[in-house]
Amino acid sequence: KNEMDSVMPRTFENARQVLHSVHKSEPVNEKLAFYNIWAETYDQVVELMMDFHSPQGAANSISTHFVGNRAEVDVLDVACGTGRVAVHLMADGFKSFVGIDGSTAMLEKARKLGIYQDLKQCILGVQPLPVEKESFDVVVIAGALSVGHVPVSVIRELCDVCKPGGYVCMTSRDGADNLQYKADLEHEIERMEEERLWTKVAVTLVENWEKATSGTGYISGAAYVYKKI
């Protein structure tokens, strides 16, 4: 009961405490156990209380820069959570989605949307992505590239499973606790560009990424769109 109460916030301050818990570095099994409990109220916390724009920011970036027939391409939604990215992309004309997440409870919430062709459980950074290489036209990861979550090295796997000419979209937040992670992420992104694995399409900065979990106001974030060579 105490665990459940901790992820069913009734005030903004409660919601900030939940987000602080999520941002802490913990063993992966503890992190997944937290997400499994949190799944039921996740949308309430991140959308209504924290005004979290990562899913919409990722979808907007893909929709702005994607060239092709949206109804005929396959989208891999990595760290899909409850499915918010796919909901936004579907509204923009994309039709075919496969979701991957470490939390079985999050996957079950996503399944109830009825918009994914397949959903797969995978602990990112521990297990390899359970899909074929070069099999998706669009690969997106929104909200998981931050300290205490998914290691930066995972972005090479995102590139691997994307078709040549396909798009990879990644998001990461600012905030004092994530600045080093974000710098490491951008360094790896640039290194992969130097290796001729992909080329930059756009980096979109978003000022009001989410409400700050410390202090007042909002923190910023970024959406990175790259095209696989």
The pLDDT tens digits of the residues spanning 36-58 come to: 888 988 887 777 677 888 899 99
Residue 59 burial by Cβ neighbours in a 10 Å radius (0-12, 13-18, 19+): buried
Are both 9 and 94 inside the same structural domain? Answer: no
pLDDT score for 206: 87
Report pTM: 0.89
Supply the range of the domain harboring residue 30: 2-49
Name every residue whose Cβ is closer than 8 Å to that of residue 10 and which is 6 or more positions away in sequence.
none
Domain at 117, CATH number: 3.40.50.150
Average pLDDT over residues 182-199: 98
DSSP-assigned letters across all residues of 84-152:
HHHHHHHHTT--EEEEEES-HHHHHHHHTTS--SEEEE--BTTB--SS-TT-EEEEEE-S--STTSS-T
pLDDT score for 44: 79
Number of domains observed in the structure of the chain: 2
Are both 82 and 175 inside the same structural domain? Answer: yes
Are both 123 and 65 inside the same structural domain? Answer: yes
Residue with tokens 């060239």: 67
- On whether the CB atoms of residues 18 and 7 are closer than 8 A, the answer is yes
Are both 130 and 168 inside the same structural domain? Answer: yes
